[in-house]
């Protein structure tokens, strides 16, 4: 007999955790099916209930769910090539490829995201702000050059 625990919520019908249903959900997620699609089938709880089971971690369901989602992403990545090769229209095939690649990069950016090649020059150049600060300090210390004639003509006469 499956182990069951009643979860009491203020609104809606009470939902019952079942280890059999949880195993079926994990198996279908690992096969690449989305949680939204499988929760629409009869006999399955709503998507929000399954997410609450993950948050509440009934019988270690959170770890099983995470592992199943991870395997499901690999299945989806493996299925990309077959789907693209079966498409006769190259423009549509490219669109399908880009769509799946984008989707996977958002769900698992470390594995399927674009690699970031960050290269920097270790010889840091002095920025304009740094030059201005150095010039101000030099002027305060009395090492300023006299103003150019252009600055004197533009400046108002002092009394």
pLDDT score recorded for residue 9:
43
Q: Provide the pLDDT for residue 141.
A: 79
For residue 127, the SS3 value is coil
- pLDDT value at residue 68: 95
Q: Which CATH architecture has domain 4-112?
A: Orthogonal Bundle (1.10)
Per-residue pLDDT of the chain (159 residues; tens, 9 = 90+): 455 655 544 455 556 888 899 999 999 999 999 999 999 888 889 999 999 999 989 889 999 999 999 999 999 888 888 888 898 999 999 999 999 889 888 888 888 877 776 666 555 566 777 777 888 888 887 766 655 555 555 555 555
Is pTM beyond 0.75? Reply is no
| Residue ranges of domains in the chain | 4-112
pLDDT value, residue 95 = 93
| Cα–Cα distance for residue pair 134/83, rounded to 1 Å | 62
Closest among 79, 129, 120, 121 to 100, alpha carbons compared: 79
Determine contact, residues 105/98, Cβ cutoff 8 Å: no
Asked if 101 contacts 77 with a C-beta cutoff of 8 angstroms, the reply is no
For residue 8, the model assigns a pLDDT of: 47
């Amino acid at each position: 007999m499956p182990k069951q625990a009643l979860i009491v919520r203020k609104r809606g019908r009470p939902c019952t955790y079942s280890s059999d249903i949880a195993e079926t959900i994990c198996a279908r997620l690992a096969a690449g099916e989305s949680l939204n699609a499988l929760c629409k089938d009869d006999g399955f709880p709503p998507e929000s209930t399954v997410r609450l089971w993950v948050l509440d971690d009934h019988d270690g369901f959170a770890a099983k769910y995470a592992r199943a989602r991870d395997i499901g992403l690999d299945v989806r990545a493996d299925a990309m090539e077959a789907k693209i090769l079966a498409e006769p229209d190259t423009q549509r095939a490219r669109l399908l490829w880009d769509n799946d690649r984008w989707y996977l990069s958002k769900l698992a950016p470390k594995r399927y995201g674009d690699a970031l090649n960050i290269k920097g020059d270790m010889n840091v150049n002095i920025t304009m702000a740094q030059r201005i600060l150095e010039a101000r300090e030099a002027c305060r210390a009395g090492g300023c050059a006299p103003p150019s004639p252009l600055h004197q003509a533009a400046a108002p006469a002092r009394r």
